[in-house]
Structure 1
Amino acid sequence: MKGIIFTEFISIVEQNFGLDISQQMFDDANDSGIYTAVGSYDHRQLIKLIISLSNITGISASQLQQTYGRLVFPSLLKALPIPNIEADDTLSFIRKVEQHIHLEVKKLYPDATPPKFIFNNQTQSTMTMDYHSSRCMGHVCMGLLEGCAHYFNQSLTITMQPMNDSQNHVRFSLTLTGN
């Protein structure tokens, strides 16, 4: 997993919970906390940090992942490998993530394994999308979808349906509910 995911997570934890909680999270996870945005790291380290933070704060790991996804969206948008990607709304941007952004990420970082989105159907205001990832971070994806809608100043209703026990396949149904 690319280091920007870790560095942004740490930044969000520090901003929202403070340095003491951040340090306790690292201590409890037996993690040095040394990450660089351009490095590559095992996603299981991020899971350990999330579980540690959940134990400290009493907030569920799934809620922390979803909140992280929502809050990290603007930073990831700025870091896109494709500058000025054109999209008029939430749903068109989500399609471009799979069609352009994930492809560029793989070109720039051959060892990267971004999630795969498969679009089952779409109208002007609805979309059904299957998320496939060995990292099983559907709640982060849900938060990213929320962050995307916020960026485009749109209201979005999202349902998330795990398609298997491991949750490496999750179906999202999205409906734009107004502007």
Structure 2
Amino acid sequence: MKGIIFTEFIDIVENTFDLEVCQSMLDKAGDSGAYTSVGSYEHQRLVKLIISLSKVTGVPAEQLQQTFGRAVFPRLLQLLPNYHFVDSNTFDFIRSVEAYIHQEVKKLYPDTTPPRFEFANETETTMTMDYHSARCMGYVCLGLLEGCADYFNQALEITLEPTDQKDHVRFHLLLSDN
């Protein structure tokens, strides 16, 4: 997993909670917190940080993942070179993640394995998509979807449907007029 995820996670923890909570999380995880945005790290380290933060704060790990995903979306969006979303919307962007962004990530970092999206069906206001990731970060993806809708100022109802496989969840998305 790319270091930018770790540096952003620690920054969001500091800003959402405070430095003391962040340090307690790092101590509980036995982690120095020394990450660089360009480094690569095992995703289990992030999982351990999330579990430790949950223990320190009493907030469920799934909720922390979702909150992180939502908060990190605009930060990650700023890192995308040469890609403009002027005429885009939530669904267009989500499709572009699989069609463009994940492909570019693979070119830049051949050793990485980004998540994979499969689109089961779609209308103007609904989308059903499957999220596949060996990292099992479905709740981070849920937060990213929420952050995407926030960015495009669209009301989005999201239902996360777990499957029998930990590396696969299905999302049902509904755009509403709210």
TM-score class normalised by the smaller sequence: over 0.9
% identical equivalent positions:
63
Deviations 1:114-155 (A, max 9, x none): 100000111111100000000000000000000000000000
RMSD after superposition: 1.1
Aligned to 1:4: 4
Partners of 2:168 and 2:81 in 1: CA distance: 26
1:176 paired residue number: 175
What amino acid is aligned across from residue 170 of structure 2 in structure 1?
A: R
| Letter of the structure 1 residue corresponding to residue 9 of structure 2 | F
Q: Which amino acid aligns with 2:174?
A: T
Q: Which amino acid aligns with 1:74?
A: P
What is the correspondence of 1:99-110 to structure 2 with a 5 Å cutoff? 99-110=99-110
Aligned pairs (5 A) from 1:51-70: 51-70=51-70
Give per-residue Cα distances to partners, 1:17-45, cap 9 Å, x unaligned: 11011011000000010001111000000
Q: Which runs of 4+ in 1 moved over 3 A?
A: none
TM-score scaled by structure 2?
0.97
Return 5+ residue gaps in structure 2 as ranges.
none
Measure the CA separation in 2 of the matches of 1:90 and 1:171: 17
Q: For this pair of structures, how many residues does the alignment match?
A: 178
Alpha-carbon distance between aligned partners in 1 of 2:170 and 2:78, rounded to the nearest angstrom: 27
For 1:82 and 1:48, the matched residues in 2 are separated by 34
The whole-number CA distance in structure 1 between the counterparts of 2:47 and 2:82 is 28
Q: Who is 2:26 aligned against?
A: 26
Does structure 1 residue 83 correspond to structure 2 residue 83? yes
CA distance in 2, matches of 1:85, 1:105: 18
Question: Under a length normalisation based on structure 1, what TM-score does the superposition of the two structures give?
Answer: 0.96
Mapped pair 1:17 → 2:4: no
Match of 2:114 in 1: 114
Aligned AA (1:169): H
Asked whether the 8 Å contact 1:81–1:104 carries over to 2, the reply is: no
| Alignment partners' CA distance in 2, 1:114 and 1:86 | 25
Unaligned residue ranges in structure 1 (runs of 5+): none
Per the alignment, residue 151 of structure 1 pairs with 151
99-108 or 77-86, which deviates more:
77-86
